């Protein structure tokens, strides 16, 4: 626990940022507040609010930031970095921003999905990268370890995905369903290990939880997935974290500011070894 006293009137979060400096991102600070890990004058708080000079702030966080930024690719316009599992895309962006102040947020990965995230280094590149994700001109590939072995060894799955906001999850149907949107997910089996297999998955469409829910809907849920998988299977095989990694990204541009990167392939090669792929 750290204790300090406010040095100026203002928001609690601002005073915490001044105290922790570069040892805690804004996202981390807001997370501590929401989790009631902060006391103001002895009382726990759950929302950011006004504080005054001399107020006593107690925070159940030591501020020892041991993270390092693993850069996969970087030039004057683009940064591709490795996001660890268990970190939200927003918190990871805050950390990237602390290293590269010109970084701009482009896309998300699920909290428990690790792998490549790409950022624009400046506004001029932001527009081109956002367009690539929005228009799905980029090719996005994942490694997934799943229960069972899909047949055939390679296919394009088609389904219909519907969000359930109350449960913060989605459901995939085989047939057209009211309120659902069509999704397409391609896969190729790379490795078979008894009751499990490793797939390379390509997103053809890109919806919330698409890979996790789509594979689960055909009986091949991702190991370690606590939402769409089976806890009994996860325990049996000892998986406590989700086995899904965004490991390869191919950029496609039709001229423009980033035309020189047309066809550029970005790969997080350590993922291959982590999944036992040679």
CA separation for the pair 209, 181 (Å, rounded): 13
The whole-angstrom distance between residue 273's C-alpha and the CA centroid of its chain comes to: 20
Catalytic residues: 110
Q: Does residue 245 sit in helix, strand or coil?
A: strand
Residue 89 to residues 117, 129, 252, Cα–Cα distance (Å): 8, 16, 23
Evaluate the omega torsion of the peptide bond into residue 152 and state whether it is cis, within 30 degrees of 0: yes
Structure tokens at 274: 């982590």
Report d(CA 66, CA 75) in Å as an integer: 25
Neighbouring-strand partners of residue 82:
116
Select from 112, 84, 123 the least CA-distant residue to 270: 84
């Amino acid at each position: 626990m750290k204790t300090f006293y406010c040095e100026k009137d203002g928001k609690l979060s601002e005073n915490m940022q001044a105290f922790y400096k570069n040892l805690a991102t804004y996202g981390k600070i807001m997370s501590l507040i929401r989790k009631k890990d902060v006391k103001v004058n002895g009382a726990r708080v759950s929302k950011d609010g006004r504080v005054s000079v001399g107020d006593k702030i107690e925070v159940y966080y030591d501020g020892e930031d041991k993270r390092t930024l693993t850069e996969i690719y970087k030039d004057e316009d683009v940064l591709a970095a490795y996001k660890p599992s268990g970190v939200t895309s927003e918190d990871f962006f805050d950390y990237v921003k602390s290293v590269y102040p010109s970084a701009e947020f482009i896309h998300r990965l699920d909290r428990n999905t690790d792998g490549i995230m790409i950022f624009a280094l400046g506004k001029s590149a932001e527009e081109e990268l956002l367009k690539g994700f929005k228009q799905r001109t980029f090719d996005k590939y994942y490694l997934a370890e799943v229960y069972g072995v899909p047949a055939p060894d390679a296919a394009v799955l088609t389904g219909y995905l519907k969000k359930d906001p109350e449960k913060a999850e989605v459901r995939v149907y085989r047939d057209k369903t009211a309120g659902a949107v069509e999704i397409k997910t391609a896969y190729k089996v790379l490795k078979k290990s008894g009751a499990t297999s490793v797939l390379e998955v390509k997103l053809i469409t890109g919806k919330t939880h698409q890979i996790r829910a789509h594979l689960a809907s055909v009986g091949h849920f991702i190991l370690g997935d606590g939402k769409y998988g089976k806890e009994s299977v996860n325990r049996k095989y000892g998986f406590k974290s989700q086995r899904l990694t965004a490991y390869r990204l191919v950029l496609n541009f039709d001229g423009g500011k980033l035309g020189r990167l047309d066809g550029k392939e970005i790969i997080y090669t350590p993922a291959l070894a982590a999944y036992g792929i040679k």
